[in-house]
Amino acid sequence: MPIDAVLHSIHLRRKKNAVVFRNIDRLWDLARTAQSHQDLLDGLHPWNASTTLKFENTLPIFLAGFGFLQMLSLIIAPANIWFQLNFGMGCFMLFWAYLVYETKQPIQDVILHLEETALSKKYALQFDQQPQYLNVKFNTLQFIGHLKRLFPIFDRGTLSNEINRFASTVWEDESGQKHDLVIFQYHYIDELQIRDKNGDRVTVKEIHKDLWGVFVFNIETQGLAVTTNNRKFYYPYTSPWHSSDIQANQRLKFYGTDSLQTAKMMSPGFVLRLTEFFHDRQGDLLFHPEQRVMCYLGPHDLFKVSSRQKQITDISTLRGHLRTFKLAELERLQSALLTFLK
């Protein structure tokens, strides 16, 4: 940054804050070199140096306050040369305070990067990367477009809809079978419109909504859609099916691509597994009729961190934060999906 070069050249970065910047540089280097989540934690202890992650800004705050008072003195006698000098001195003090004041942004940036690194290491998440299961690699836009075209549930939003965040990973069940997945966030925008006095439609506001889900590859089941929502599916899931289990019918709606195939597929054991999967979960679960891909889409934020520290001021607090850092909803979904798929 140009301002950083200026600050460095005129030696206005004070020694107390220089220690914090050295810690920030070490943290960036740790994020680059850590091979695992434990490596990340081990790199934070022992630190063998000052552990502070808080800039000392008492001097610039004092300068800004005193400079502002000096500038206000001009109100007393605007034509007085001494008050004019005070005004100039106040402007200089404000500029000096601006030069030596350190914002929290560098600390926030490195902590955010460490959080993303910790998640990627802990859950083996590869953000913005395609799963190894796919033999043919697409560019990102083609890949996202391909996934959205597989299932008729990505047509929401009157203004726009997109998968704006995704990560690939591999989950292994109790039997040792590995499942390639893509975890994603689906964002869509609806327009709320009303008619004005002339009868023309006017957009009042945009309503942004988010859903989260997973694509699971190499799945045996095909041609089925299950939902907890009171909605109908369109092509190719056009054949409704009803279970003999009254509670399952009250809780879930079933649709298949072929009524005979769906009846063969929906054994009592399979229906029980579906019911258990949706026991405390809302959303849609679809199996592609031709490709071996499954998609779950629901309202729970799979990227939501369950233990976020509000204020991190030293390395030891940061280590404790990253140690308890977890994606609780993703863990719950992982447990339910692996139980369903085994």
CB–CB of 120/35 below 8 Å?
A: no
Same domain, 74 and 35: yes
CB–CB of 133/218 below 8 Å?
A: yes
Same domain, 142 and 71: no
Average pLDDT along the chain, 342 residues, taken 10 residues at a time: 49 71 94 93 92 86 82 70 75 82 89 89 89 76 91 88 92 84 94 73 80 93 91 86 82 90 89 91 94 94 78 89 89 92 82
pLDDT for res 228: 92
Residue 107 token pair: 């600390």
How far apart CA 93 and CA 100 sit, in angstroms, is: 11
Three-state DSSP class for residue 161: strand
End-to-end CA separation in angstroms for the chain: 53
Same domain, 131 and 99: no
State the sign of the Cα–Cα–Cα–Cα dihedral 16, 20, 26, 28.
negative
pLDDT for res 10: 42
Domain assignment of residue 121, yes or no: no
Q: Which domain holds residue 144?
A: 126-341
Domain assignment of residue 248, yes or no: yes
Count of Cβ atoms closer than 10 Å to residue 327 Cβ? 20
Same domain, 147 and 66: no
Same domain, 234 and 296: yes
Query: What DSSP state is assigned to residue 173?
Result: -
Number of domains in the chain: 2
Same domain, 81 and 136: no
How far apart CA 203 and CA 198 sit, in angstroms, is: 14
User: What pTM value is reported for the model?
Assistant: 0.78
pLDDT for res 11: 41
Same domain, 43 and 94: yes
Same domain, 64 and 133: no
Same domain, 137 and 77: no
Domain assignment of residue 112, yes or no: no
Same domain, 84 and 146: no
Same domain, 197 and 290: yes
Same domain, 336 and 228: yes
What residues form DSSP beta bridges with 253?
Answer: 227
CB–CB of 168/130 below 8 Å?
A: yes
pLDDT for res 342: 78
Domain assignment of residue 109, yes or no: no
Domain assignment of residue 114, yes or no: no
